[in-house]
Amino acid sequence: MFTTGQAIGSLVGGIVADKMSRIFPNSGRVMCAQFSVFMGAIFSIILLRIIPQSTSSYYIYLVILFLMGLTITWCGPAINSPILAEIVPPTHRTMIYAFDRALEVSFSSFGAPLVGIMSEKVFGFDAKGIDNIKDSGREAEALSKGIMWMMAVPFVLCGLCYTPLHYLFRKDRKIDRTPSSREAEII
């Protein structure tokens, strides 16, 4: 369900961001990005702290995962790529897109180890306490808290990082994008 939500969400996010950019040319896409990442924080908390961790909550998890996938996928295709396409000269686009993706992936690689460290050191996760026969609720709770913190906090920080774009994107859009004579020769 999450992947289905993501597929639909990329399309919906693009449509919403396009409409918002027509209404608010300098900040519409940025507002969509902030909405998307803040929804990620909210859904992380709902999934990992609010919904009861039991098999009876299966359908609630399906709905929330679908809605989460629907809303958290907007940043790449609906915001980052169109904004970069608008402000980066064509001769530098490939390099900037590669840098954007590399930066995003390199930060995400810290997630799993940090979840493990936080779950063990802060929330008391103990791998020896896991028993496949008996209930391992305490360990599941500790792991759930670690995952929630390592999802919600980065989502909020990401949303805050988009905030300066309300001002900076306006300035970048005003810069003359016509190619110089040197760039025109290259193209």
Upper half-sphere CA count for residue 83 (Cβ side, 13 Å): 27
Please tell me the distance from the alpha carbon of residue 132 to that of residue 4, in angstroms, as a whole number: 31
| 3-state secondary structure labels for all residues of 51-95 | CCCCHHHHHHHHHHHHHHHHHHCCHHHHHHHHHHHHHCCHHHHHH
Helix axes 28-45, 137-162, angle to 10 degrees: 170
Helix or strand run (H / E) with residue 27:
none
How do residues 24-42 score in pLDDT, each as one tens digit? 988 899 999 999 999 999 9
How do residues 106-161 score in pLDDT, each as one tens digit? 888 888 899 999 998 998 888 776 666 566 677 788 888 999 999 999 999 999 99
Upper half-sphere CA count for residue 121 (Cβ side, 13 Å): 6
The number of folded domains in the chain is 1
pLDDT value of residue 108: 83
Number of Cβ atoms within 10 Å of the Cβ of 145: 19
> What is the rounded average pLDDT for all residues in the chain?
86
User: In the predicted model, is pLDDT for residue 63 greater than 50?
Assistant: yes
**What band does 86 get if pLDDT is binned at 50, 70 and 90?**
confident
Domain containing residue 153: 2-186
Read off the tokens for 126: 């103990």
Pair 146, 113: CB distance under 8 Å: no
pLDDT value of residue 133: 59
pLDDT value of residue 181: 45
- Minimal CA–CA distance to 16: which of 93, 87, 100, 82? 82
User: In the predicted model, is pLDDT for residue 182 greater than 60?
Assistant: no
